Structure 1
Amino acid sequence: MKKLFLMISIIFLCGALMALNPLTTNGSGEEEPAGHNLLTFVVPFEAGGGTDIFGRFFTPYFSDQLEGNPLVQVENIPGGASITGTNEYAQAKPKDGSHLLTSSASSHIPYMLDQSSVDYDFKGMKPIIGSPMGGVVYSTPEKAEQFKEDLTSFEEPLYYAGISPSGLDLVTLLSYEVLDLNFHGVLGYGGRGPSRVAFEQGESNLDYQTTSAYNNNVKPLVENGTAEPLYSLGQIDENGNLVRDPQFPELPTVEEVYIDQYGEAPTGEVWEAYKQMVNAAYTLNKVIWVHEDAPVESIARLQDGAEGIKQDADFIENAEVVLEGYEVLTGDALQKQIDEAFNVSDSSKNLIQAYLLEKYDLDITEL
């Protein structure tokens, strides 16, 4: 109850900041307040979503920790599932260290898969701070029991309600392919909230939710006997192995489910593609960046501030709720994670592009 109260308080605080902070802009091009000590967080989504809350959560800590205690504003530039705002940041925002970008898996996956509408390159940016996120796949208790006994026994497909095969859903879809699960994906829902409602109303019997949504909205369904978790999507460790999500240590990974069902570890291109997508979408879920060609002293100032944020007692306490207890990454550890996450092999990229085209009639190179 205390955790829920704290989460609600922080979300209301973010809303209050949006309403009361005159520095918050909406990407309309209106004149910004004058000043030499102003930092702008570009968020390529509407205000109020997960990435927006993530960015706003960090703003007071950057103000506190950075030398000079700058004013910090958030500029929301929604559109194109984050691509519009990310493109604008890369191509049009000042490269003097005064503007930062808050990215998410919705920005990472199209970049990795060479989506044609992407006009940004994360190699031209310097990461400042990042954070993982997790996800859990669940079903009805009846289907979960059958899944655990023999996941190949489904004569009728399980129905999965999703948003887009080229977004965060891609990781979950690939997990089904690794397991050779008989499923039918119904895509086009407006968000993970509507997809969960579809499950609750019986329109689907297979769903996933990210950590926060699962804990707040699905665990009550598990407790009242209308849902049961199947596995977590997992995290990628420093050795490139899929491991259990630290926030769901009781749940098996896709690899463990596969071994239990088939008696051997998964191998092959689909398995490798799945692990690479987990790395880019969950182990590296959100990142705050600055232009790489910003002044060296500006980058150093931001990096020093990020290190200070990690040690801030108030941040540590509130991050347990907002960031769901996942450890934030900075410095060399963050750069190493990015290098590994975005290093998708040509074979995995080609496989995913072909998969999207064949199964969902989606040519990502033409989007």
Structure 2
Amino acid sequence: MKRNVYLLVFLVLPALILSACGQSTGVSGSGYPSKAITVVAPSGAGGGWDLTARVFTKVLGEAKLVNQPMMVENKPGGGGAVFLAEYVTGEPKNDYKLFVNSPPILINHLKAEGNSPYGYQDTTPLAQLTKDFGAYVVKADSSFQTLADLINALKSDPTKITVAGGSAPGSMDHLVAVLPAYKSGIDPKTIKYVSYDGGGEAMAALLGGNADMIATDASSVGDYLKAGKVRVLAVTSKERLDGDLKEVPTLKDLGIDADFTIWRGVFGPKEMSQEAYQFWQNTLKKMVDTPEWKKELDANHWASEYRNGEEFKSFLGEQEKLIQDMLSSMGMAK
């Protein structure tokens, strides 16, 4: 009888230990993720956030890095501010809903008009994935041969120069547009900025003679440059870019101490579990090295720049200071 008891303990105890270990480490079906994941693009279909979210989820599936369904949901409104308010107040612990964003998450929180009470501090930054830069673009036959020509004209009489962008006053294109003027001692409030609904409309305004210069994404101007329709006066990167823009000077090349990165990244809820956070740190680090991701970078003319959660959070704090300074100079800070 005693021998049978010992035998039973010998057989059952290891199974209990394995079961307990499985439960504590997320094995045996208890680990994250265990159900479908939603990735929100806080904009309408077809924009940069939407494309980023769809490519991001597509690659994770193709590379077999996430074994659960991933769905993209569009939540337009207020340049992302409407969704962020709902997310922060309604789903602070939802590990199964992520979202993509870019500098507007900082700008919306800092500007006075249309201010969002919430910012990146109310989320968990997971990773920066890509980077782009601002570009200062004029028509090919413009009298402005260099950025210095444009700056001098603004210093002489800013009311005679129309600067345009694809987003509202106080938003990203506006900040990029006035950055070199601001750093050159020109009051940003004196610059005539006209906003259009997207970079495509801003480019059409430029080519149609309704703007003297536009500020737009550097990645979007290559085709116009190759077609001989525009001239790019400068870009906001720290170093010269490759490809079509390799001959274009940076602001620093021109003696203007400024740069601006138009990043795109992924965020989770503020109270994300440590298990989910660590999963995404590991998974996103793997994703950016996959051939599937590199193929999408090339197809969409994106430049890769990966920062993990902690690095991304630190970078956001640095860029927030620059944006705060610029909005204050424009009289647009809250």
Q: Normalised by the size of structure 1, how large is the TM-score?
A: 0.70
2:127 to 126, 129, 133: 129
Q: Is the CA contact (8 Å cut-off) linking 2:138 and 2:214 kept in structure 1?
A: yes
1:172 — aligned with what?
A: 177
For the residue of structure 2 that corresponds to 1:254, the secondary structure is: coil
Note the C-alpha offset of 1:332.
Answer: 4.4
Q: Quickly say closer, same or farther: Cα 1:115–1:89, change in 2 above 3 A.
A: farther
Q: How does 1:34-183 map to 2 (within 5 A)?
A: 36-63=34-61, 69-93=67-91, 95-113=93-111, 117-130=115-128, 131-140=130-139, 141-145=141-145, 147=147, 151-152=151-152, 157-162=160-165, 163-168=167-172, 169-179=174-184
Deviation readout 1:74-108 (Å, 9 max, x if unpaired): 12111111111122122212513111021122222
Counterpart of 1:353, as a letter, is S
Counterpart of 1:252, as a letter, is P
Counterpart of 1:196, as a letter, is M
For the residue of structure 1 that corresponds to 2:171, the secondary structure is: coil
Counterpart of 1:209, as a letter, is T
Q: Is the CA contact (8 Å cut-off) linking 2:169 and 2:193 kept in structure 1?
A: no
1:219 — aligned with what?
A: 225
C-alpha distance in 2 between matches for 1:39 and 1:174? 38
Deviation readout 1:128-161 (Å, 9 max, x if unpaired): 2212111210223342226556842565632212
Work out whether 1:206 is the aligned partner of 2:213.
yes
Q: Quickly say closer, same or farther: Cα 1:78–1:114, change in 2 above 3 A.
A: same
Q: Is the CA contact (8 Å cut-off) linking 1:152 and 1:180 kept in structure 2?
A: no
2:324 — aligned with what?
A: 349
Counterpart of 2:103, as a letter, is A
Work out whether 1:244 is the aligned partner of 2:247.
no
The worse-fitting range, judged by mean Cα deviation, of 87-96 and 325-334 is: 325-334
1:253 — aligned with what?
A: 250
Q: Normalised by the size of structure 2, how large is the TM-score?
A: 0.76
For the residue of structure 2 that corresponds to 1:172, the secondary structure is: helix
Note the C-alpha offset of 1:44.
Answer: 1.0
1:290 — aligned with what?
A: 268
2:312 — aligned with what?
A: 334
Counterpart of 1:145, as a letter, is Q
1:193 — aligned with what?
A: 200
Q: Quickly say closer, same or farther: Cα 1:288–1:191, change in 2 above 3 A.
A: same
Note the C-alpha offset of 1:338.
Answer: 2.7
2:27 — aligned with what?
A: none
Counterpart of 1:233, as a letter, is T
Deviation readout 1:237-270 (Å, 9 max, x if unpaired): xxxxxx434564422222332x3xxxxxx5xxxx
Counterpart of 2:288, as a letter, is K
Counterpart of 2:164, as a letter, is A
Q: Quickly say closer, same or farther: Cα 1:82–1:234, change in 2 above 3 A.
A: same
Note the C-alpha offset of 1:48.
Answer: 1.2
C-alpha distance in 2 between matches for 1:67 and 1:320? 21
Note the C-alpha offset of 1:39.
Answer: 0.5
C-alpha distance in 1 between matches for 2:92 and 2:214? 41
The worse-fitting range, judged by mean Cα deviation, of 56-65 and 188-197 is: 56-65
Q: How does 1:305-344 map to 2 (within 5 A)?
A: 305-322=283-300, 324-342=302-320, 344=321
- After superposing on structure 2, the runs of 4+ consecutive aligned residues of structure 1 that deviate more than 6 Å are none
C-alpha distance in 2 between matches for 1:172 and 1:150? 12
Same amino acid, percent of matched pairs? 17
Number of residue equivalences: 292
Q: Is the CA contact (8 Å cut-off) linking 1:67 and 1:301 kept in structure 2?
A: no
For the residue of structure 2 that corresponds to 1:110, the secondary structure is: helix
C-alpha distance in 2 between matches for 1:198 and 1:114? 28
Q: Is the CA contact (8 Å cut-off) linking 1:44 and 1:78 kept in structure 2?
A: yes
For the residue of structure 2 that corresponds to 1:53, the secondary structure is: helix
Note the C-alpha offset of 1:116.
Answer: 6.4
Counterpart of 2:299, as a letter, is V
Deviation readout 1:157-179 (Å, 9 max, x if unpaired): 32212332211121221222323
- Unaligned stretches of 5+ in structure 1? 1-34, 236-242, 260-265, 358-363
C-alpha distance in 1 between matches for 2:270 and 2:64? 18
